[in-house]
Amino acid sequence: MIKNQNLLAAASLFFLCALGSTASFAQQKKTTTPPTTAAPAAATPPAAPKKEGIKPFAEVITAKAKTKSGLFKTHRLDDKWYFEIPDSILNREMLVVTRLAKVPSGVKVGNQQYGGEQLNEQVWQWERRGKQIFIRVPSYAVRAEENTDMYQSVKNSNLSTILASFDIKAYNKDTTGVVIDVTDFYNGDILAIGASDALRKAYKTTVYDNTRSYIDTIKTYPLNIEVGTAKTYRSAESPIDNSIGAVTFEFNTSMLLLPKTPVKPRFMDARVGFFGQSQIDFGTDAQKSERTVYIHRWNLVPKDTVAYKRGELVEPVKPIVIYIDPATPKKWVPYLIAGINDWQKAFEAAGFKNAIIGKEAPTPQQDPEFSVDDSRYSVVRYFASDIQNAYGPHVSDPRTGQILETHIGWYHNVMSLLRNWFFVQTAAINPEARKAKFSDAQMGELIRFVSSHEIGHTLGLPHNFGSSYAYPVDSLRSKAFTDKYATAPSIMDYARFNYVAQPGDGVVRMYPGIGEYDKWAVKWGYTWFPGNLTAQQEKDKLDVWTKEKAGNPMYFYGRQGNAYDPRDQSEDLGDNAMKASGYGIANLKRILPNVEKWTFEKGKDFSNLSEIYGEIVGQFNRYMGHVTYNVGGLYENFKTYDQAGAVYKYLDKAKQKEAITFLNQQLFTTPLWLINSEQLNKFDNGAMLTRIKGVQTSTINNIFTSSRLLRMLDNEAKNGATAYTIPELFTDLRGTIFAAGRPDAFKRNLQRGYIDRLGSLMVDAPAPQGLPPGFTFTPVNVSVTDIRPLVRAELKTLLATAKARGVAGDANIKAHYEDLAVRINDILDPKK
């Protein structure tokens, strides 16, 4: 997922070989119960069902009904909706995914703010009991193979919950199915298919208002049913206007029939990046319940297995085909298709040719049955939206991890994000970026780049934030190197554009393509093994491959959400953040004086100038974040028992001190180069002090997170004098932030921000909330560590400094130091 933020995410939210099923999940096996009064196929339904309240079909589904055929037949009569469920589908497992379709402006709840983002996923089974139909929700969090001793025990302890019940209204005309009314269900307040708890809490919803809610559409296809609803909740805190007293969301609930026979899963390995799902497995030979994880991947099987075994490239029986939404502007279609087809080279590493194919969607004349909502077709959906984003989700079988389909979301305004970042990261060396509006060819290539990244997610690959660390920083200044290897070994990193290369280096390749890591990951996840091996036997073979790549940075996987390994960062380049950021700042200094000239548009106001200026400050802030990661940094290298060396290792003291020296020089010594008065006078209404303070204080807050400080204490306890300690950190920062001499307005802001952050460490704080899934941090209770005693000692040192300096100077300086003394005293003795 592409998002205009430093942290993450997904994504910005996120399988297999088919050789037959090797495992049966522990759940109750059900058989379809035929209607007790079933009549022969062309006969009139008997009177008995009518007497029991089940009416003849024609009385329920009249001639006025609008009927559509698909997985279920759907019937609409005025404002009533009916499902006609065939007996052959009862008890089949269906994956049900509810997503936001449209949201009001101002929604800012984690990963629930854009249309297309997923809210809930469940498996449903439509089960008949007498005169009723139930929806059961089986769970796959616990499993055991059918041929193990634990199967029956797990089955007995894993009863499927009943989500809803429906009275049978009629049998269909040939009594091979039943008719139920689903109006109240889909138009009701059902958590599984409506607003999440997070949305309800954020907007303080009280009552669901079905008078302002409705079913918009129900579309049925051979393998899926798509239900669109609008739901209104009375709300005390509307994102738009509190006077309305309500908030409305539109949802799409997709019900997809799962394969009757699950395919064989592939076990996940933390050393290779794949999305996956976990379950507690009671059927293993271990003397405990084990957590197993299956990767997400498409089911690719070679057409010619004999040729495949000979090492020839072979087409799969069923390739991955992704269509481009007919609503997509025509000039971007070839670039989106190219981004899809770029992955063909990665699948060749797994022995397949033409394994993935991008196509323009057929016209209604070419294929009247084609629909972008039909789950038989994977599609890049194009949204006319001002959201600066794109995302690559996929729908997978929770039993095995098999990817079944994908609907990629592409927002029109992602081009604005690409324009801004490409400008501030490459304009110093790239004339093509020095424009208010890029050429279609240049923007098309950027779209292709993002298209490839999002397609990687649909293949099961998460972000690999550790990939760009593989390259030495100075290699990114080499034309020969970048022409061959681009800027990172993986397009799944957020290694955007080459901000390292300097004028005169001759570098022309600015961003990554499908790299060595991507080919390796696809080979690892998609290689087909002959011989009908079990999942465990395949795992053993793959483990040999993985160990062969261990220690080679080209094949390193750095997971997103790691909050302590400086290699695993978003938007960074190279193996040394200080060196790379220094080059990046040098380029920003070249770009800034030219922004007005390079963004000039006759007759336009200075919005472009203001926007790009903000992007430059934002890029500078990213560099500070990249460097800060090194302080208290901890390398993470996942290993197995048969691999030598540590999994976790602290950064050397010299590297951590290098980071603080960089921050002192580039940030805590006021970056006056950002103050270009000639340009600021065109749009800045007095916010420059705040802009610079924002970068400085956010970096101070980042340095002094309790988790980072705890790691420094832990490092000192384990490694003694070789560790970089908190007192050393205080000394190194104090020498610049509180350097002798008259502090200007910028430095006074910085000093106040520094003391305020230390003060916050003296107050109990709640645990971090709302972290994205998989995000890790070092948990800490500050009150029982050495952090507070050390902070208190530092505050006393600063108090003495403030008192000493407050006796001299002009009114501003005296007031400043008197204020610092008061702030520190209030922190040290809050009861005063």
pLDDT tens sequence across 647-675 = 999 999 999 999 999 999 999 999 999 99
Mean pLDDT (whole number) for 230-254:
83
Could you tell me the residue ranges of all domains in the chain? 47-257, 305-561, 594-828
* DSSP symbol at 244: G
pLDDT attached to residue 744? 93
Position 409 scores a pLDDT of 86
Residue ranges of alpha helices (H) inside 478-602 are: 479-485, 516-526, 535-549, 577-591, 595-598
User: Tell me, what's the pLDDT at 775?
Assistant: 52
With a pLDDT cut of 70, the percent of the chain lying above it is: 86
For residues 146 and 296, the model is more confident at 296
Residues 501 and 587: their CA atoms lie apart, in Å, by 9
Residue 623 has pLDDT above 50, yes or no: yes
CATH 3.40.390 fits domain 305-561: yes
CA distance 715 to 723: 6
pLDDT surpassing 70 at residue 10: no
CA-wise closest residue to 577 among 500, 685, 518? 500
State the average pLDDT over residues 804-821: 91
Give pLDDT, residue 47: 43
Given a contact cutoff of 8 angstroms between Cβ atoms, the answer to whether 556 and 469 are in contact is: yes
Q: How confident is the model at residue 20 (pLDDT cuts 50, 70, 90)?
A: very low
Q: Which amino acid is at 668?
A: F
Lowest-pLDDT choice from 222-236, 341-355, 380-394: 380-394
Q: Residue 830: which pLDDT band, with cuts at 50, 70 and 90?
A: confident
| Per-residue pLDDT at 385 | 75
pLDDT reported for residue 52:
53
Q: Which of 3-7, 375-379, 570-574 has the lowest mean pLDDT?
A: 3-7
Contact 144, 283 (CB under 8 A): yes
pTM: 0.85
Q: What pairing do the DSSP bridges indicate for beta strands 118-129 and 246-257?
A: unpaired
The percentage of the chain sitting over the pLDDT mark of 90, rounded to a whole number, equals 70
Give DSSP secondary structure letters for 692-761: HHHHHHHHHHHHT-HHHHHHHHHHHHHHGGGSPPHHHHHHHHHHHHT-SS---HHHHHHHHHHHHHHHHT
Name, in order, each residue with C-beta under 8 angstroms of 292's C-beta and a sequence gap of 6 or more. 267, 278, 279, 281, 284
Q: Mean pLDDT throughout 357-366?
A: 94
* 528-580 pLDDT per residue, tens: 999 999 999 999 999 999 999 999 999 999 999 888 999 999 999 999 999 99
Task: Say which residue the tokens 């008078």 belong to.
Answer: 211
- For all residues of the chain together, what is the average pLDDT? 87
- Looking at per-residue confidence, does 765 or 811 come out higher? 811
State the Cα–Cα distance between residues 394 and 118, nearest whole angstrom.
10
pLDDT above 60 for 41: no
120, 192 contact by CB (below 8 A): yes
DSSP bridge pairs for 359: 323
pLDDT of residue 392: 84
- Secondary structure of residue 123 in the 3-state scheme: strand
Cα(150)–Cα(166) distance, rounded to whole angstroms?
34
Give the residue from 358, 377, 375, 354 showing the smallest Cα distance to 303.
Answer: 354
CA triple 663-665-669, angle to 5 deg: 100
Q: Is the pLDDT of residue 797 over 60?
A: yes
pLDDT confidence band for 324 (50 / 70 / 90): very high
Beta-strand relationship, 93-102 and 246-257? antiparallel
All residues at 6 or more sequence positions from 495 whose CB lies less than 8 Å from its CB, including other chains: 467, 468, 487, 488, 511, 512, 571, 572, 573
Which range among 248-252, 625-629, 820-824 shows the weakest confidence by mean pLDDT?
A: 248-252
Exposed, middle or buried: residue 65 (CB in 10 Å: 0-12, 13-18, 19+)? middle
Residue 214 has what pLDDT? Answer: 95
pLDDT grade for 110, boundaries at 50, 70 and 90: low
pLDDT number for residue 203: 81
pLDDT tens-digit map of 456-499 = 999 999 999 999 999 999 999 999 999 999 999 999 999 889 99
- Smallest CA-to-CA distance from 436 within 627, 624, 313, 595 is with 595
Residue with the bigger pLDDT between 390 and 14: it is 390
Look at residue 142 in the predicted model and tell me its pLDDT.
52
Please give the structure tokens belonging to residue 393. 């989700």
Please calculate the CA angle 160-10-528 and round it to the nearest 5 degrees. 70
Q: Confirm if 408 and 455 have CB atoms less than 8 A apart.
A: yes
Average pLDDT for 98-120: 71
First to last CA, the chain: 50
Q: Give just the sign of the alpha carbon dihedral 672, 674, 677, 680.
A: negative
Q: Residue 240's pLDDT band (boundaries 50, 70, 90)?
A: low
Task: Please name the amino acid found at residue 455.
Answer: I
Q: Is the model's pLDDT at 417 over the cut of 70?
A: yes
pLDDT confidence tier of residue 38, bands split at 50, 70 and 90: very low
